[in-house]
Amino acid sequence: MSDAPETPEPMTAAVVQLTSTEDVAANLEAIRRWVMAARAAGAELIALPENAVWMRVATGSEAPMEVIDEGAPGPNLAALMGIAREAGAWLVVGSFPEVSPHAGRYYNTSIVLDPDGRVTATYRKLHLFDIDVKDGESQRESDTIARGEAIVATPVRGVTTGLSICYDLRFPALYQRLVDRGARLLTVPAAFTEFTGKDHWLVLLRARAIETECFVIAPGQSGYHGGKRRTFGKSTIVDPWGIPLCIAADGPGFAVARLDFAAQDRIRASLPCLSHRHPGV
């Protein structure tokens, strides 16, 4: 008998694209609307972008932080759990402001919810976006966000999925570590700036897919959020050969693709670069 892991059945996945603001109630309403539309289109796994529930627009705005506790959820987590249950689908909440022990800072945390609305995994963003782009948007996430410490790979409908958030995309070693943990899917929820996104977003996503031979599920924020916040959008799902299977139109909406894991196995068998890595690298 072969010791090779069984190939998962195909999965339909969706990336939901939002234009979130500081209006939490409006954001949750939009999340529910697009999640239900994606589910109606057949999606079993639905991924939301970074800052889905709340997008900072004004400097100094206070994040609606909550403890991630499904036994005693705050109102925003409870709403998301209810949306997952109503849809009956796996829901990846791109990021959520989680209470941290660090004074004045919160964790930017991705949450995985199963079709019963239960929290099955959380991931705290490792790499924080502290940057001044000439003639572009400037941000310093470390002023308000505490850096995470753990790499997280988790089953989603039985498929090992590696979690990441936005700026993590620029650090390929993270994704190699996720593949070492068995990842077939990589999630990259984002709020990529309009300035960097136009040149880097799709290029980096395709690179991560090619070098890991994984499906990459990348929902993004899109459009004008208020203040100086503009995001690039182009939410996409990329196959393990680096081909975008779908790309969302500008503005709120969603895009759907079918993930064929047997095709992924064929790619990995015909180009076995994952087994060719030098042990010292």
Give me the number of domains the chain comprises: 1
- Alpha-carbon distance of 181 to 190, in angstroms, equals 23
Q: Is 166 a catalytic residue?
A: yes
Q: Number of helices (H) and strands (E) in the chain: give both, helices first.
A: 5, 17
Q: What is the mean pLDDT of residues 168-194?
A: 97
Q: Which of 259, 277, 256 is nearest to 267 (CA)?
A: 259
- The answer to whether residue 219 scores a pLDDT higher than 70 is yes
Q: Are strands 153-156 and 159-163 parallel, antiparallel or unpaired?
A: antiparallel
Q: Active-site residue among 50, 66, 141, 213?
A: 50
pLDDT category at 134 given cuts 50, 70, 90 is low
DSSP type of residue 247? E
Residue 39, domain member (yes or no): yes
Q: The tokens of 110 are what? A: 């991705």
Q: Which of 188, 199, 245, 248 is nearest to 18 (CA)?
A: 248
Q: What's residue 1's pLDDT?
A: 42
Residue 51, domain member (yes or no): yes
| CATH code, 171 | 3.60.110.10
Residue 279, domain member (yes or no): no
Q: Could you give the C-alpha distances from 127 to 83, 189, 239, 248, in angstroms and in order?
A: 29, 13, 24, 26
- The answer to whether residue 91 scores a pLDDT higher than 80 is yes
Residue 4, domain member (yes or no): no
Q: Is 273 a catalytic residue?
A: no
Q: What's residue 139's pLDDT?
A: 78
CB 235 within 8 A of CB 220: yes
Answer with the residue of higher pLDDT: 1 or 85.
Answer: 85
Q: The tokens of 198 are what? A: 């136009």
- The answer to whether residue 136 scores a pLDDT higher than 90 is no
Tokens 């308000």 sit at which residue? 144
Residue 1, domain member (yes or no): no
Q: Is 125 a catalytic residue?
A: yes
Q: Could you give the C-alpha distances from 191 to 2, 19, 90, 139, 144, in angstroms and in order?
A: 43, 9, 21, 12, 16
Residue 281, domain member (yes or no): no
Domain that holds residue 31: 11-271
Q: Active-site residue among 44, 66, 98, 125?
A: 125
Q: Active-site residue among 66, 141, 166, 234?
A: 166
Q: What is the mean pLDDT of residues 174-183?
A: 97
- Alpha-carbon distance of 18 to 255, in angstroms, equals 12
Region of poorest pLDDT, from 8-12, 71-75, 192-196, 232-236? 192-196
Residue 6, domain member (yes or no): no
Q: The tokens of 135 are what? A: 């003639």
Question: Tell me: the pLDDT tens digits for 20-72?
Answer: 999 999 999 999 999 999 999 999 999 999 999 999 998 889 999 999 999 99
Residue 182, domain member (yes or no): yes
